[in-house]
Amino acid sequence: MKREQISKNIVADLKELAALTSDADGAQRVAWTPTFKKATEWFTQKMQAAGADVWTDAAGNSWAKFAGESKECIVIGSHLDSVPDGGWLDGALGVVAGMGIGAYGLADKKPAKTLYVVGWADEEGVAFGKSCLGSSAVSGIVTSKDVLPLIHQENGRSFSDVWQEYGLDANRIGEAHTAFAKLPVKAYLELHIEQAPLLALAKKSVACVYGVCGCNRQYITFRGQQGHCGSPVALRQDAFIAAAQTTLDLREIALKYDSYCTVGNIEVKPDLTTISPGYCRISLDQRSIKPETMQTIVAEAKAAAQKHAQDGRLTVEFEPIWQAAPILFDAQLVEDCNAAVEEETGARHSMYSAPLHDAVPLNAVVPSVMMFAQSDPGISHCKEENTPQPQLEEAIRAFIRLAEKELGTSFAE
């Protein structure tokens, strides 16, 4: 089957999955929910119908295998789960693209290399607060000791109890890495919606992704003295004011260094209308593709918080949450990806990703690369997420070209 028809079939399958697992508010494939189970069952049924070997690994990831002439293999995938009220393409695009390459592209031919298609479990981290759970387990980054203490963020149930409902044993999560490590994987390929408006603004359908930003997350806590709302403003030790002033500085730091910052959580105590707060904690997420910039923006954030704490006669504390260094994808795969984009669109276009993706933990153990499809209106994690169909099909065709290069086959005829 030719690329044009394969891409159209993939879009049709994406719409089928969306109809099955979405409601009026958006995609509802939250990991470890009945709707997520529907998505995994849909994956299994579609892949079995295509003649693939299908199974679920010890980390809850859904797998399909299309045998090639060689045991050497490539892996194509993304995540099957979504955030609540999420977008129809986030994660699903990469999974269904891999499914379509196997089901339609390989229906009448055997590639030089074996193809594995994977739907990663719990990339979003909604249930237990740990992003890229399934792919990190396969990569050996997450083990049973990391997951056993986890508590479900909504219902308070233990990780083990929730997993048991889905036929999984948290104590055996490491077996996913053991099995994956035995595979002679030559490449991991992931197609994903951009989740930002840059491609739409550039009037590009698709881009090669050459790397992913590093990230530093921390809590910054200001402590002062709560007081009466009738007390003189200039004499207060108001923790919220220092946090607010710091937040404004953080935005300027991000703009100054072409980086990213997000203050997404604010906790104020005593949280009463008539009391100036003596306690305020903010979360801070900072990102950059450059290691030296990461160091600079984190240092300047700390200096800004310390300055405003001193000016307000407060104390300030910094509590690390999580951090990851910037990563660059495999140079040869990036070249192949750029070539695929150029062959399909007539021009190369490359960019880095600010959001985290499953390709990051995979890149630690196998050569990896990503491709972005245009997002228009450039927003994600919401029902409005979309890619216009002509741009979506063009991005899928470019990704098919990349898969052809790595599989050692052609869908041109």
Tell me the mean pLDDT in the region 80-85: 98
Residue 401, pLDDT score: 98
* Single-letter amino acid code for the residue at 166: Y
pLDDT tier at 142, thresholds 50, 70, 90? very high
Tell me the mean pLDDT in the region 381-408: 98
pLDDT tier at 245, thresholds 50, 70, 90? very high
For the domain made up of 215-324, the CATH class stated in words is alpha beta
Q: Assess whether pLDDT exceeds 70 at residue 65.
A: yes
Question: Binding site for Zn(2+): what residues are annotated?
Answer: 79, 90, 124, 192, 381
- Tens digits of residue pLDDT in 269-288: 999 999 999 999 999 999 99
Domain parsing of the chain, residue ranges = 3-212+326-407, 215-324
Q: Pick the residue with more confidence: 130 or 57?
A: 57
Tell me the mean pLDDT in the region 323-327: 93
* Percent of the chain residues past pLDDT 90, beyond the cut: 97
* Cα–Cα nearest to 284, from 230, 248, 308: 248
Tell me the mean pLDDT in the region 312-326: 95
Q: Assess whether pLDDT exceeds 90 at residue 345.
A: yes
Is 115:407 a contact under the CB 8 Å cutoff?
yes
Phi, psi of 185 (to 5 degrees): -80, 125
Average pLDDT score over the chain: 97
Q: Assess whether pLDDT exceeds 80 at residue 413.
A: no
Q: What is the pTM of this model?
A: 0.93
For domain 3-212+326-407, the CATH architecture is 3-Layer(aba) Sandwich (3.40)
Question: Binding site: what residues are annotated?
Answer: 79, 90, 124, 192, 381
Residue 412, pLDDT score: 73
**Half-sphere CA count of 124, side-chain side, radius 13 A:** 24
Cβ-based neighbours of 87, under 8 Å, separated by 6 or more: 26, 27, 193, 380, 381, 382, 383, 384, 385, 386
Query: Directed axis angle between helix 389-407 and helix 3-21, to 10°?
Result: 120
350 bridge partner residues: 208
Residue 54, pLDDT score: 99
- Tens digits of residue pLDDT in 210-242: 999 999 999 999 999 999 999 999 999 999 999
